[in-house]
Structure 1
Amino acid sequence: MFRRRESVPFSFVAEADRFRSNVTPPPRERVSLSEKAGRTLTGLAVVAGLAGSLLLGLPALAPEQSPLHHQQAEAAQGR
């Protein structure tokens, strides 16, 4: 392994904790009422879409229990 011949100063790490900027960031813009309403309605539309797809999709995922299926199963067993 090679060793570095010059020492590495770590004083910049200690100075980074004490550094204060004299530049203040611009103030944040206030969100208008229409933007809040739009974001709320968009969120509600997404949630309603997910809930609707869940409600419509659950019957398709359930095991089939129609009377036609039972009749076919009984006919297959009766042969």
Structure 2
Amino acid sequence: MSRRREPVPFAFTAEADPFRSNVAPPPRERPSAGQVAGRALFGLTLIAGLAGSLILGMPALSQDAPPAQTQHSVASDGR
């Protein structure tokens, strides 16, 4: 029993169906010890950078002390 095929706008997609295979792709290679160490070091560097920027940026974000002086424009002194 053969299937009746409908016209497809792209011929290569219609012709690719009969050539499908049940062969599985080869398994992925396991990363070497150097690659694992490099990825871990890169991740630790990113985390340390984010933590450092947070620690250094916290004093700038705090609103504990009000400003000592209010600034005013010198141009408005003569009015």
Count of residue pairs the alignment pairs up:
52
Which gives a bigger RCO, structure 1 or 2 (Cα 8 Å, sep 6+)?
2
Gaps in structure 2 of 5+ consecutive residues: 1-20, 71-79
TM-score, length basis structure 2: 0.55
Gaps in structure 1 of 5+ consecutive residues: 1-20, 74-79
Deviation per residue, 1:3-50 (Å, 9 max, x gap)? xxxxxxxxxxxxxxxxxx521111110110000000000000000000
TM-score, length basis structure 1: 0.55
Runs of 4+ in 1 over 4 A off after TM superposition: none
Equivalent position SS for 2:24: coil
Q: Which one has the bigger helix percentage?
A: 1
2:40 aligns to what?
A: 40
Amino acid at match of 1:31: P
Percent pairwise identity:
58
